[in-house]
Structure formats: C-alpha cells, structure tokens
A and B are shown apart, each in its own frame.
Chain A
C-alpha cells in the first residue's frame, strides 16, 4: 500500500498507475479473493468432509494441499469451510454491530441525558474484556454459530459508536445544521438530510474494519472450545485440535489454517484501508 514513492521504475507496470487506480485494483483483488473463499465454502457441505482412516495424518501433497487430520479428513476443505464460517459470522456480527452503533449514536445526539447514558454504556462495555463478554453472551444464548455471532455483535459496536458520536457532535455545530434548525426542520429531517450523508463514509469503513476483529474473536472463542462441537470445521476448533497433534510432528495442521486465517484478516484490513482512501480522499494523503 505504501510503496508509491520508493523509486518508480518504467519497467514496473504497477508503478505507472496512479494512486486511485492502484487503490481500486487492491480493493478489487482483495474483495475478489474474499468472495471466492465465501462462495466456495458455501458449496462445501460439512457432511461431505468425510473421514478416511486409511489416510490419517498425511502431510501436504497434491491430493491434500493442507494435509489430513487424525480422522483422515482433508484439511484444505475443512479450512475453507472454516474460513467461510468465519466470514459469515464476521459479516453478521459487523453489520449488527454497525446498526447498533448507528442507532445509539443518533439517539445520543438527540439530548444531553441520552448522550450521557450512551457514553456510559460504551465505557461499560469497553471496561469488560471482549472475550469474556462474548463467551458469557454466547453461552447464555445456547451456544452454536448464532450465539457466537450475537456475542461478537454485542461487543464490537463500541468504537464505531464513539467515532460516530464525535462526528455527529461536530456536524451539529456547523452553520448549515443551525440554519436548518432556525427554519424549523425536525430533528429527524436534519439527521437524515444533513448528518447521515456526512457519516456514511465512517459507517462503511467502520463496518469493514470491524470484520477482522469479529473474525479474530470468533476464532478465539471457538479455539477456547465454546460455541461449536469439536468435529465441526471452524477455524478456532481446527487450530485448537492441531495443538494436540503438534507433539506428534503434524505441523501442517496448525500452519496452513493459521496462515489462512492471517491472510483472510489481512485482506479485510487492506480492503478496509483502501476503501477509506477512495471514499475519504483527504485520508489518502495521511
């Protein structure tokens, strides 16, 4: 992302592109890979990842790119399915989080008392470790993918709420809002016509940047053994199971799923940062 200034060469076709094109290409590529992961994982039925005890604990090969586990299941398909699940949970959680953040920050902007309540709520949620809260919420909802999604959603709205709240406060002091108030426009009208268009960028970028957090937390929770059954393909479960077999030298069980998770999260981060550049050009010069 940051290599635009170190010695452009005429032999390097990438260097000839301007920042906007480069940014668009980066976004396109990362989104493309993410979409492929999600779509291909949707075509994998977890019932089809069958055991094959003739091929247990096989190292990576052309037949099994990521090797096989202790029940002879193909780790490539399991990882892909796990990543797909992560992205789905991440999507659910970040959209829910953003909705909560939008609603709360707009409610907070209506009057001083509600604003206090909401900042207090934000502080409250920030003061409890995320992972504890997620585990508590997902268990009280009966576990499963649903419990984990809601658990992650209910804990990740805080930072976006803070950003939106500050942004809205700033916009409310501007002249055109004051003018509209004098003209007798309702609060709802001002919120819709003046404030919302100005914070859309923040909302979109914020939502995308919640993704990596949500995915990481989903992986951590399933890693700790909460939420899903130990035979189901979730990335955290795969990683925690791999720990048991590292001692017997099965390094591929941890390496490839771990790397895939890392790349997935990185892709979201890259996409988010670049979308921010496009939508908010001033930040491109930071």
Chain B
C-alpha cells in the first residue's frame, strides 16, 4: 500500500535526524593559527547585493573591505580614520572633512576627496533604503584632500554617517558588478565569494591603520543552529548564536556575551483607523492601540524584568523608551519607571471605560474588544519569545494579544496599523528622528506608530542644530521632557521591552579583546575591533 511507503519514509527521516544529531561531529576543516574562520557577520546574514556599502553592506558595522572617514571608539566618541580633521558650520548644514593623502585602494589607485564625494552622492541618490542620507544635498571635492558636504536641513547627526559608509573608488565603481568584486581601502581585501556559503578575505598589507594579526579571514554564512554545529565540530573560531543557545557549553569554546544597544520593542499605532491609507495603500491606525489607556496599561502592566529573565534567557535588560541604558542620552526618569503592575494596568483600563462585559476575561469599550495582533519576524526566536510572553502577560489585565509569526514582505502592509516587534539600536541618535518625527510617518519603516507630538518634533529639531555633546539633553527629552514625550510617562507610543546581548562562541585559542569591542549596534558588529584580536595559543586539533 502507498501509505505504508509514507510511514516508512517518515520513520526513516526521524531515525536519520536523531542519528545525525547523535553522531554529530566527524572530520573538521583545519586552519592555520594566522587564519580566522568566523560564522558571524552583521545584520541580515549574507548581503544579497554583495559587499557594496552603497547597497547596504555593513552600514552600521565595520565594513572590513572598505574604510570609513571616522571610527567609533568604545567610549562612544569618534576618532579620525580616513579623515584627518572635520568641522561643521554653526547650524550644522555644512560639514568640511579633510582626508589623508596616503591611502590607496587595493587596485593601487589613490583614494582622494573625489572618491569620498562620489560615494556619498551615490549613496544619497541610489543607495539602499536603509541608508539614511536624506539630509545630504550634495558632497563636493574642493581639492584632492578636502570634501564639503552641503545639507538640506540642519543635521548634527551627520557626523555619525561618516563612521558608517565605506568609501568606494569613483573611477571603477559600477553598481552592478562592484558588490561581487569589491575594491576598497580597509584592513582586508576581497578574494572570493562563494554565494550562499562563504566569503574569503585576505589581509591588506597596504592598510594605513593598525594591521590585524590574521592573514586570512573566512566568513561563513551560517546562521543559528548551523553556526552552533560548526562550533561543536571545531570548524570555526567564532560562531554567532541566538540567545537560546547561549547557556550551552561547547568544549574548547567560551561564550562571549557582548553588550549591545540593540533594543526590542513594539510600535503601538497611536491613531485610530479612520480609513486613511499610506502612499503604498496600507491602512493607517488601530482602534485599540489608538486609545492611550490601552498603551499605558500595556506599558505599566507587562513585566519587563520577567521578560529579560525568561524570553531573553536572563541576558536581557529592561528598557522603556528604546534608548539603551548605556547611551549618553538615556533618560534616567524613564528608566526608573516601575512596571509589572497588573492592578495599575486594570485601573487604567477601567478608568478609561474598558470593561469586561461578556465575561471572557478580555475588556471591551463601545463594542470594541481589546484584542490586537502583534506581528513578529518568524526568523528571530527572541522576537517570537517576546511576542508569546507579552500575550500571556497582557491576558492577565484583560488585553488579548494574538501573536502572528510572519515575514517582512507580509509585515510591510501592517507596519502602520498593527504592533510589530522591532529591533533598533545604534550610536546614532537620528534613529529617534526616524522613529518618532511626525512628518516621516507612512514612509517605509519610519514612524510606524504615527507619533504626532509637536514637542517631540521640537526637541528633535533642536537637537539637530546642536553639537553632539549638548544635543544629548534634547534627545533625552524626546523620551520625556517633564510634560510629554514618547515614553510611557508621556504618549506611551511604543512598548519598548528590553535590550538584548549578542552571544558568540569563541575558540579558547582566540582572544577577541572584549574590552575594546564597541557596544554592539542592531545587527551586531563583531569585527569592530578585529585589529585587536589575538591568537593566544595554537588551535587545538
């Protein structure tokens, strides 16, 4: 009979899977001590468009193949890299950057101001959508070592962009081919890209900065359990794993947990659904989260400490406003909120007229049931855990959360109308401009909650006109300025939950110099201090 075959096949599959797990191991690829094999990379895994900074390659992280004008330091200040000096005019609408004159691309052409101007102009015109160069009007090379950036609005955060974008050679750049044959001036040069598998880089001996110790760097595009298995098989020096694996022990490896400024939270659309649509035709607003009482009840009712301990495997850190607690513009008042208060959440709801009239444990108001859909990316296990835990917690005070695992293509149409579990975090405060500035709502992932608060806009406008150190207080006021803001104390426009950590299994023979590592931005930046990595002993074979 046909079904007997089916049964047989399933039995064989189950046995094979279990046997495979038991027999995991076997031969491993050998690598020399001066070579690195790493199953870790930055945001989003293998770059679809290749290693082209203009198309998004390692925008928030060390691009390796290319180099940047400035570099971030662990104490969150910028130091010169390609740049020798930079200055901005008094209202931050024009930046002048002087660059080194001794830098060569790996194709032996000289990197000059024209290449810098070209890269920035190209990124502003044709760049990937997650690159934020909306404030750049034009970049011009004044002479071979001076670039002038003219902006169309005051933007004191433009200095952050100097640390993000790798410079490409203007003469040979072609946006169709560059991604798979990149040429740059970074610490490593490109050798080979086996799509779907790995990229091989070789040390750039002409690099002008501190030379890394390792001659060859192979980045494997393995994720999650595949990366974990590679570590178990001793095939890699570093393996990035989800937090759910971080409590395992792997022989010959130590678990390095790097601090991040990467925060997980939900956008709660603050407007009601009145039938308005975005330019792409997606609905705007949500009749449940449009009521401030619902947003407040969620903000005070859920227990972020429990989530940090549970869903984030004990590595989380509660967060209330999306600003990681290590950042200089973190808001102390907001971070002192006490949550997990179910009684308070119930009171907020009943004061606003949300009552459970039909006895199903979920409150209603004017015939609307307090039931919301929360979308999460099915690939991210920590987002799934957050969504599921939130659903359980919210039920206790009468709000129903239906967690829906999805993909970004599908979620795109829900961005402005349903809560979505987001991950955000960078040392660039302009992420707050993208998240909360009223005018930006409806454009892709900008301001998904449709925040429209003139005080918030005002603080952002002010911060954009102030130099970095003095702007911190204005950025912090976006969260809460004593009378309003986006945090639970004000509009409660987002339900921020917690900061995560990035977990890497690192071979015992390798020191990744944790103390010089940068605070990891969203997506991670494991290679930020590759110059300081050091092989302390021979690899155990």
Contacts and interface: CB of A to CB of B under 8 A. Distances in A.
Task: Point out which of B3, B7, B405, B406 has the most chain A C-beta atoms below 10 A from its C-beta.
Answer: B3
A254 B311 contact: no
Task: Point out which of A71, A229, A245, A273 has the most chain B C-beta atoms below 10 A from its C-beta.
Answer: A229
A1 to B, nearest CB: 12
A263 to B, nearest CB: 10
Contacts of A232: 405
Nearest to A216: B6
B395 A269 contact: no
Interface residues of A, number: 36
B406 A229 contact: yes
A71 B245 contact: no
B21 interface: yes
B3 A51 contact: no
B76 interface: no
A285 B9 CA distance: 28
Interface string A212-246: 11001000000001000111100000000001111
Contacts of B291: none
Interface residues of B, number: 41
A50 to B, nearest CB: 5
Interface string A53-64: 110000000000
Interface in B195-242: 224-225, 228-229, 232
B10 A258 contact: yes
Nearest to A251: B18
Interface in B1-52: 1-4, 6-7, 10-11, 14, 17-18, 20-22, 24
A165 to B, nearest CB: 18
Interface of B is mostly: helix
A231 B405 contact: yes
B17 A265 contact: no
B458 interface: no
A159 B17 CA distance: 31
A248 B384 contact: no
B10 A265 contact: yes
B280 to A, nearest CB: 19
Interface string B46-81: 000000000000000000000000000000000000
B303 to A, nearest CB: 12
A51 B307 CA distance: 11
Contacts of B389: 51
Nearest to A263: B7
Contact of B11 (A53, A231, A262): A262
B254 to A, nearest CB: 17
B171 interface: no
Contacts of A245: 225, 244
A172 B267 CA distance: 66
A106 B452 CA distance: 64
Contacts of A71: 311, 385, 388
Contacts of A273: 1
Contacts of B7: 212, 262, 265-266, 269
B381 A70 contact: yes
A71 B382 CA distance: 10
A247 B225 contact: yes
Given A70-B381, A230-B405, A259 B3 contact: no
B378 interface: yes
Contacts of A209: 1, 3
B353 interface: no
Nearest to B311: A53
A47 interface: yes
A70 B384 CA distance: 11
A248 B232 CA distance: 9
Contacts of A266: 7
A184 B140 CA distance: 95
Task: Point out which of A47, A53, A247, A261 has the most chain B C-beta atoms below 10 A from its C-beta.
Answer: A247
Contacts of A248: 228, 245, 248
A3 B232 CA distance: 47
Interface of A: 47, 50-51, 53-54, 70-72, 159, 209, 212-213, 216, 225, 229-232, 243-249, 251, 254-255, 258-259, 261-262, 265-266, 269, 273
Given A230-B384, A258-B14, 15 more contacts: A47-B391, A47-B395, A71-B385, A229-B404, A246-B21, A246-B225, A247-B21, A247-B229, A248-B245, A259-B14, A261-B10, A262-B7, A262-B14, A265-B3, A265-B6
The 8 lowest CB-CB distance pairs between A and B, nearest first, are A53-B310, A229-B405, A246-B21, A258-B14, A230-B405, A212-B3, A244-B225, A230-B378
